[in-house]
Amino acid sequence: MRLGRGCRLDSHVVLQGDTVVEEGCHFFPFSSIGQPPQDLKFRGEHTRLHIGRDNVFREFMTVHVGTKGGGGETRIGDHNYFMAYTHIAHDCQIGSHTLLANAATLAGHVVVEDHATIGAFSGVHQFCRVGRHAYIGGYSVVTQDALPFVLTVGNRASTHGINVIGLKRKQFSADAVKALRRAYQVLVRSRLPIDQSLAELTAELENFEEVRYLAEFMRGAKRGVVR
C-alpha cells in the first residue's frame, strides 16, 4: 500500500491490499478501502486499487480492489466525495468531481464519468455507465446506461429531462443548454429508433461538443440506455 502526502486517516480506518492513494485524501472513521471483491469467482489473485488526489471517504464507505476478469484494477479519479455507507465494487472506474450520496451503491464494472451525481440509496447495475454531468435521483435503480446531462430517477429508472439547473450552476452556456434540451427531445421524446434519432441529431446539432459527446455515449451503450 502507498499513501500520498497530506492524507488524513481518522480512527478505525482500514486500508489494505495493493492500494495506491494520491495526496490529500481524507478517510473518515470506519471507512474500509482495498478489501477483496465480493465476487464468487475471485480466488485471491493479485489485483489493485488506485485512488487519485483530494478525495473524501465518509463513515463506513467501502471500496474493493479489482478482479482478474475485470481488468485487475478499480480506479478512482480526483476531487470526489463519497458519503457515508456508499459502496464502490470491484473493477469500477470513477472519474473526477463525482458525488455519491449516502448509501449509493455501485455493482462491479460500473463506469461513472466526471461530474456525475448519484443520489442516496440508489443502486447501479453491473457493467452500466453513468455519463458526464448525469444526475441520478435518490432511491433509483439503474439497470441501463444513464445518459449524460440528464435527470434519471425512479425504480426502475426513467429520464426526466436535461438537468438544466445543475448545468447552469456549472456555468454551461445558454446555447449549450438549449442544444442539449433539443437533443433530449430528439433522442428520447421523439421515440424514434436510436439510429434514426442519432442521425437526425448529428445533422442538426453537430457543432456542439456536448451534443456530439451525448451521441457517442449512446452509440457506445452495450446494455442500452435509460430513455
Q: List the catalytic residues.
A: 90-91, 108
Give the residue carrying C-alpha cell 499513501.
Answer: 3
CA–CA separation, 106 and 76 (whole Å): 13
Strand arrangement, sheet containing 99-100: 8-9, 26-27, 56-57, 81-82, 99-100, 117-118, 135-136, 150-154, 157-162
CB 37 within 8 A of CB 8: no
Query: Exposure of 68 by Cβ count < 10 A (0-12 exposed, 13-18 middle, 19+ buried)?
Result: middle
Angle of CA points 183, 164, 80, to nearest 5°: 105
Angle of CA points 8, 12, 17, to nearest 5°: 75
Which triple of cell numbers denotes residue 56? Answer: 473524501
Q: Who contacts 192 (Cβ-Cβ below 8 Å, separation ≥6)?
A: 186, 200
Q: Is 173 helix (H, G, I), strand (E, B) or coil?
A: coil
Q: Which residues on neighbouring strands pair with residue 168, listed in sequence order?
A: none
